[in-house]
């Protein structure tokens, strides 16, 4: 078994553990402790903190010499000496979680000097786990039965559109909004330009799941600005291994850096629409 596969196995184990832990909290009811971070719409709950704590503990057991970066720490609190570092979003879609909207996930990725080696995204609400390492295909794992994952593993291959113009007109595009109101105004201008050119636009709130759902073909494309490394590390790799292009959206004016994911025949055309003025 390759090192990349070993790392993917740890990512899958970790993401599943944290997702199941969060699902138990969700079934127990509303979060008692909620606070804001950068803005009033940028929320963090005790569930975020507890999930990150549990993830760090498991990774210390499985990979004691690796580094760690988590959303709730925002620092390389554990630098490690192995050459690998874990990049974790312990609860992607916190607002959805707090409001009882079943669209949130756990994202776990591991990087080395070359980039992301492996990553997994667990969606406990639909009992789906997306994963990939950089030497193999993207996979979707679902649980067959009540308690055990027994094996439906499907290679994720997005459909190829017929032409760029047709692809754009028939494309279901996912996106997200930043927490800062000024940035949201600028994002709204981009959406106003885009909405008449595509089939429709979706915004659900978990960047990691948006990436996973693009890889599996539920969306034709996804773009978002203001995402952080823990939001996209696993999902970008999964999309790449599913055969999609992952492009950067350079920062400009009131719009921060972001990413765009789409098939080859759609990527450049969509990039031109959402990256330009």
pLDDT digits (tens, 9 = 90+) for 54-94: 999 999 999 999 999 988 765 445 678 899 999 999 999 99
- Pick 19 or 30 by higher pLDDT: 19
Let me know whether 138 and 188 are in one domain. Answer: no
Domain with residue 15: its CATH number is: 3.30.540.10
What average pLDDT score do residues 119-146 get?
88
Q: What is the 3-state secondary structure (H, E, C) of 66-91?
A: CEEEECCCCCCCECCCCCCEEEEEEE
Single residue among 122, 155, 188 that ends a domain in this structure: 155
Please report the pLDDT score of residue 72 as a whole number: 73
The answer to whether 261 and 219 are in contact (CB under 8 A) is no
Q: 98 and 122 share a domain?
A: yes
**What mean pLDDT value characterizes the chain?**
86
Task: Name the domain boundary from 104, 126, 155.
Answer: 155
Residue 166 to residues 50, 199, 266: CA-CA distances in angstroms? 46, 10, 9
Domain residues for the domain of 83 are 3-155
Q: 152-197: per-residue pLDDT in tens?
A: 344 555 555 455 677 788 899 999 999 888 899 999 999 999 999 9
pLDDT number for residue 151: 33
Give the range among 30-39, 89-98, 124-133 with minimum mean pLDDT. Answer: 30-39
Q: Residues 205, 263: one domain?
A: yes
Number of folded domains that form the chain: 2
Q: What is the CATH number of the domain that holds 229?
A: 3.40.190.80
Which of 109, 127, 155 terminates a domain? The answer is 155
Distance, in Å, from the CA atom of 260 to the CA atom of 211, rounded to the nearest integer, reads: 10
Q: Which residues, in sequence order, are bridge partners of residue 28? A: none
**Beta carbons within 8 Å of 65's beta carbon, 6+ residues apart:** 80, 81, 82
Same-domain pairing of 197 and 116: no
140 in Cβ contact with 169 (< 8 Å): no
Q: Do 144 and 29 belong to one domain?
A: yes
- DSSP character for 276? -
Split at pLDDT 50, 70, 90, the class of 28 is confident
Q: What residues does 43 pair with on adjacent strands?
A: 36
Predicted structure pTM score: 0.88
């Amino acid at each position: 078994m390759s090192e990349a596969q070993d790392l993917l196995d740890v990512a899958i184990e970790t993401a599943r553990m944290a997702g199941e832990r969060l699902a138990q909290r969700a079934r127990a009811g509303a979060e008692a402790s909620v606070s804001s971070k950068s803005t009033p719409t940028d929320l963090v709950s005790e569930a975020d903190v507890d999930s990150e704590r549990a993830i760090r503990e498991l990774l210390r057991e499985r990979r004691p010499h690796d580094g760690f970066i988590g959303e709730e720490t925002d620092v390389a609190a554990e630098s490690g000496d192995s050459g690998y570092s874990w990049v974790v979003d312990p609860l992607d879609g916190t607002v959805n979680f707090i409001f009882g909207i079943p669209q949130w996930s756990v994202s776990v990725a591991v990087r080395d000097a070359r980039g992301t080696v492996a990553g997994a995204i667990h969606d406990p609400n639909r009992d789906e786990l997306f994963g990939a390492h950089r030497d193999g295909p993207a996979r979707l794992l679902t649980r067959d039965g009540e308690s055990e994952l027994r094996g439906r593993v499907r290679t994720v291959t997005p459909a190829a559109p017929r032409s760029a113009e047709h692809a754009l007109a028939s494309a279901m595009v996912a996106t997200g909004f930043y927490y800062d109101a000024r940035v949201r105004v600028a994002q709204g201008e981009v959406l106003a330009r885009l909405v008449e050119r595509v089939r429709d636009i979706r915004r659900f709130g978990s960047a990691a799941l948006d990436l996973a759902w693009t890889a599996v073909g539920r969306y034709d494309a996804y773009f978002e600005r203001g995402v952080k490394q823990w939001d996209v590390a696993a999902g970008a790799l999964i999309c790449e291994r599913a055969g999609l292009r992952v492009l950067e959206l350079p920062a400009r004016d009131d719009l921060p850096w972001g990413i765009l994911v789409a098939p080859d025949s759609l990527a450049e055309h969509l990039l031109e629409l959402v990256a330009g003025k």
